[in-house]
Amino acid sequence: MNNNSLKVLFACSELTPWVKTGGLADVCGSLPQALAEGGDDVRVVLPGYHSVLQHIPAPLFISVVKLPLGSITLCRGDLHGIQVLLVMHESFTNRPGNPYMSDSDRPWPDNARRFALFSQAVCEIAQDRTDLHWQPDIVHCHDWQTGLVPALLSQTDTEQHTSRPATVFTIHNLAYQGNIMIDAYNRLGLPSELLVQDGLEFWNQASFIKGGIAFADKITTVSATYADEITTKDFGCGMEGLLQYRRDRLSGILNGIDTDIWNPETDLHINTNYTFGTIDKKANNKKDLQAQLKLREDPNALLLGVISRLAVQKGIDLIIDAIKQLKNENIQLAVLGAGDSELQQQLQKLAKANPENVSVEIGFNESLSHKIEAGADVFLMPSRYEPCGLNQMYSHRYGTLPLVTSVGGLADTVIDINDDPASANGFVIKSANPVLLQQGILRVIELFKDKTRWRNLQNNAMQINYSWAASAAQYKNLYRQALQEPPKQ
Ligand code: ADP
């Protein structure tokens, strides 16, 4: 700890490795550690879900906290030396499985109440009104689940934030907004003063994410391009007007990745470890993956990998279409994913019709995801929008060249050989369009035959430094600016 150090409270609804549905969990699992390594005092506050308690069966009791929406028990667990404060309430602790959805893939009907309660707990900690006796300088909130926090804290505003910490709100995916009917909002007994046009009100609903966007001292997204995109009608999900209005508070900071977990030199999940110096050994991982997935063992087939939520956002429909159209080419597809049941069925049908060339594994499988990263030649991410994206960065580390659309974080990390041959590290198509994807794959098939150029791309990709330290330094800078911001008028 030094004079320059800040006290930062991370408020989030997911945390790798305890509870994860997407990239948000990875950010909240890694960034606090990177900030702590830089000398900051960082704590995380997380709902005490049933699944989290499997990892920490005996969390340390701190106190019972009475909140407008009910009483919670505040406990503590530790993760890699970071204190994780757990908000225990039966709506979290007694609900196994996915944090937001029931087994039948429907959102829990009381999600608004659960995350409003969680947000109230965060506000109590933020104002040092629990037995923790610790007040953060900054509360860093993530996505709609914590959007109410900046809104509720704004009600205590003074000119220099003296009674509240400064707030930072990060949008990991603007499409998930936590919108509820006005009646439901009123039933929660949340402040009616917040339900105004430049507050939570959103097309005759109450929007939790709008709380973060309208009231936070600083707003961030997880890439610079996505920060620009969400101020436009095409990507703004109805929030573009407000985001344009708050443009001076909005910026993008690219996520880092966990370079210990995603390291082909040391990865224990893969058949053969390698570096760029020993890149020929990557072929063993391809052979192993083809064998495991019962694909034809052909070193010359271009093996395309996909690890993804099965969602329209991710362009999975375009991939299915492209594979059908290009059935006479020597390509293979290995998909790992879960999500939309319609896409799942279409993928399974494709695999059944082409068992030697298409493999589809449904479910969440950490170990197989590493094997695909190491074994595939190319990683497909034809996303319609992509706030940051992690898999294109993992792919770079493994010398697996990404083929992506030019959106969000993909545009900020992947350089096409036609745009800049010297520093190229993958392939970019302009937008999520079926013909462009097919043309893109055909272009990659040709290039795959030119081993020298392919190696150059792999070399560029594998040299990129994606460690969290660089992103953490940018957040630290932003926190300092947030402390200087006058509260919203
Ligand atoms: P998003 O957050 O939109 O789902 P990201 O690319 O930002 O997409 O992050 C997704 C994360 O989840 C990555 O770490 C990815 O490897 C992982 N992932 C997604 N689906 C699976 C799966 N079925 N099995 C294992 N890991 C998965």
d(Cα 91, Cα 13) in Å, to the nearest integer? 13
Q: What amino acid occupies position 265?
A: E
> Which mutation among 308, 336, 394 tests ligand 1's pocket best, with the greatest number of atoms within 8 A of CB?
308
- Among 23, 18, 34, which Cα is nearest to 8's? 34
Which residue pairs from 413-421 have beta carbons closer than 8 angstroms and sit at least 24 positions apart in sequence?
413/223, 413/254, 413/389, 413/464, 415/460, 417/447, 417/453, 417/457
Q: Three-state SS for 218?
A: strand
d(Cα 223, Cα 220) in Å, to the nearest integer? 8
> Residues 181, 110: one domain?
yes
Give pLDDT tens digits along the chain (489 positions).
Answer: 556 899 999 999 999 999 998 889 999 999 999 999 999 999 999 999 999 999 998 999 999 999 999 999 999 999 999 999 999 999 999 998 899 998 877 899 999 999 999 999 999 999 999 999 999 999 999 999 999 999 999 998 766 566 799 999 999 999 999 999 999 999 999 999 999 999 999 999 999 999 999 999 999 999 999 999 999 999 999 999 999 999 999 999 999 998 999 999 999 999 999 999 999 999 999 999 999 999 999 999 999 999 999 999 999 999 999 999 999 999 999 999 999 999 999 999 999 999 999 999 999 899 999 999 999 999 999 999 999 999 999 999 999 999 999 999 999 999 999 999 999 999 999 999 999 999 999 999 999 999 999 999 999 999 999 999 999 999 999 999 999 987 765
> Residues 221, 322: one domain?
no
In this structure, what CATH number is given to the domain that contains residue 344? 3.40.50.2000
> Which mutation among 391, 397, 413 tests ligand 1's pocket best, with the greatest number of atoms within 8 A of CB?
391
Residue 266 lies in a domain: no
Beta bridge partners, 79, equal 82
pTM: 0.93
- For residue 2, the model assigns a pLDDT of 59
> Residues 242, 151: one domain?
yes
Angle subtended by helix axes 366-375 and 282-292, to nearest 10: 130
Query: How many domains does the chain contain in total?
Result: 2
Q: 17 preceded by cis ω (within 30°)?
A: yes
Give the distance (Å) from ligand 1 centre to CA of residue 23: 6
> Residues 284, 231: one domain?
no
Give the distance (Å) from ligand 1 centre to CA of residue 187: 35
In Å, how far from its chain's centre is CA 210? Answer: 19
Q: Three-state SS for 247?
A: helix
- For residue 161, the model assigns a pLDDT of 64
The answer for residues whose C-beta is within 8 angstroms of residue 463's C-beta and 6 or more apart is 276
Domain that holds residue 280: 276-462
> Residues 236, 337: one domain?
no
Binding site membership of 26 for ligand 1 (Cβ less than 6 Å)? yes
Q: What angle do CA 207, 208, 210 make, to 5 degrees?
A: 70
Closest ligand 1 atom number to CA of residue 390: 6
Q: Are 79 and 15 in contact (CB under 8 A)?
A: yes
d(Cα 449, Cα 302) in Å, to the nearest integer? 10
Q: DSSP state, 430?
A: S
